[in-house]
Amino acid sequence: MNSSSSNDLIPFQCLDPTDPGLDIVLYIFCFFYYSIGLFLHGSILRMIFFTDRTTLKDNSFFQIYAMDSIMVGVSGQTFNVCSPFQSIFLISVELFFNRLFLFISPFCPIVGPFFWDTSIIMKLVYLILHHSRFSKSVAQIIMVLNRMSCVLAPSNYDRLWRIFTPVSRVLVVILPFGGTWNLIISRVFGQSIRGGFSINYKRAVQWVSAALSMFQSIYISTALFFTIICTSITVYKLYILPDRIKTAERALCITSFFTSLTFLFVAGTQLTFLYCTTCNRDFLFIFQSFAFDTFTVGSAVILIASNKNLRTSLFSKKDDGSKRIVTVTPISK
């Protein structure tokens, strides 16, 4: 697990927890909503792979949902489920590593010394976490462009995104390296916070503009600009469309709107973390993490909440082996 000599150790002293009772409550709260996220993402995988595969795999609504993922999961007419897999992985990392060692202070003196040395596990956790967050910003831009185009040009929507989807998937994977390149070549280490510990990094390149928080703010600010413009156009266009607009467009509007709200929350906390020099950094660190949780968990919650047929498929009981069918109205041409 560790790869450097004893001369490279970066020890940290575990602090006395300021409010251990509150920390435990916070972890229980995280456990509660992360469990919901795991259940919903797992249920979506089950519906796609097994119970409703023939109905869901080619539906444009689920292609749009995939664009709101950490890794875009559409290739041509095939729905690829790397997004729920990625979300499940991220939730598991947060639940059983980051939040566990941050909020459950008795683990700090026991586990902390294992991370004084250079740790491959800690490097991978920190790198994947931030690469996924950058991917979220890129995917958010693609998502709102996708949803705006489906109401502005519904007749050309499928043809347009059949061409652009493979490109967008590459962009979601590659563009985040523009923000994480310095992290890749830098050393990560554990640091004490509250009564537990978290992960930080020592920049290999010391430019002010090369800070991870600065790159995140650039990506998030760019995505925020696209979100405000594209979502406003989408909502307005859906409002003025005639009554022929049916279920898929309304579900699309609801999903797009609430996903954009969660992104506004993320953007606000990130910009506050960067520019508020007088704020409590430990509090902002934790609050920012909760904001990003709305993205990780929220995508599945919004998808299920905005579609009645999916909820029926998810929560209904099987009747003596009978087959359940989910119907999602296709986008009007």
**pLDDT tens digits for 97-110?**
989 999 999 999 99
| Domain-located, residue 322 | no
**Residue range 227-255: mean pLDDT, rounded:** 74
The residues that bridge with 79 in the sheet, in sequence order, are 74
The pLDDT of residue 63 is above 80: no
The pLDDT of residue 172 is above 90: no
* Domain extent at residue 208: 6-314
| Domain-located, residue 1 | no
The pLDDT of residue 220 is above 80: yes
The pLDDT of residue 165 is above 50: yes
pLDDT at 185: 92
Residue 38 CA: distances (Å) to CA of 5, 114, 261: 38, 28, 21
User: 213: closest CA among 260, 281, 262?
Assistant: 281
Q: Note the pTM of the prediction, 2 decimals.
A: 0.79
pLDDT at 299: 78
| Domain-located, residue 320 | no
Instruction: List the CATH number of the domain containing 233.
Output: 1.20.1070.10
Distance CA 220, CA 217 (A): 5
Name the DSSP class of 115: G
| Domain-located, residue 59 | yes
Q: Coil, strand, or helix at residue 112? A: helix
**Residue range 202-221: mean pLDDT, rounded:** 83
Which ranges of the chain does DSSP label H, i.e. alpha helix?
20-46, 53-56, 60-67, 82-93, 99-103, 108-111, 120-152, 157-174, 177-184, 212-240, 247-275, 281-305, 308-315
What total number of domains does the chain contain? 1
The pLDDT of residue 45 is above 60: yes
The pLDDT of residue 43 is above 70: yes
pLDDT at 226: 94
User: 142: closest CA among 205, 204, 197, 222?
Assistant: 222
Q: Burial of 209 by CB count in 10 Å (0-12 exposed, 13-18 middle, 19+ buried)?
A: exposed
| Domain-located, residue 326 | no
Q: Coil, strand, or helix at residue 180? A: helix
Lowest mean pLDDT among 105-109, 111-115, 296-300: 296-300
pLDDT at 219: 92
pLDDT at 32: 94
| Domain-located, residue 333 | no
**Residue range 237-260: mean pLDDT, rounded:** 69
What's the mean per-residue pLDDT of the chain?
Answer: 77
| Domain-located, residue 120 | yes
| Domain-located, residue 321 | no
